[in-house]
Amino acid sequence: MVHRVRFVAAISAVLCATSALGSDTATVPLLEPLEEVAKKQQGKSVLVIFTARWDASDVMLRKLMEDETVKAVLHSHEVAFYMADCTVGAGAGATEMRRHGIKATPISALVRRPDGAIGIKRLVLTSVDTFVASLRSLLEKGEKALPDAKDKAPK
């Protein structure tokens, strides 16, 4: 099991590094609070997808992010895209998950619009089409659709 975890972590690291090279939607790790990121991305929506290296969907997500249709959706919505690795339950990603009441990493996503509105949704990864549909729904409607998400931050 340890070797499998290391293998998945290695694959994730390679995919993350290669996706940042020559891509319109480079995978950028979330290393600081969402509010700080939003200030730097003035005028853009900030999309954060929470993942964990132990989850197979992390690898699948990284491949989907390289699809031209996905890139076009992110570009048309003027989105700054960040990945929050919550494998160890610490850091900026884990803090933002707790702050927004998100209880599960497997492909939970949060979008912060330029006006400060927050949308939360679990993205569907079964195909490029379903992923794009769930991504568009989050970006356009900004819905809070996670059954385990709370509207207020935990105390």
Total domains in the fold of the chain:
1
Residue 122 placed within a domain:
yes
Alpha carbon distance 81, 26 (integer Å): 7
Domain encompassing residue 63: 2-141
Residue 154 placed within a domain:
no
Q: What is the pLDDT of residues 8-66, one digit of tens each?
A: 443 444 334 333 333 344 567 888 888 888 888 888 889 998 888 777 888 888 888 88
- Domain holding 86: CATH number? 3.40.30.10
Residue 43 placed within a domain:
yes
Q: What is this structure's pTM? A: 0.70
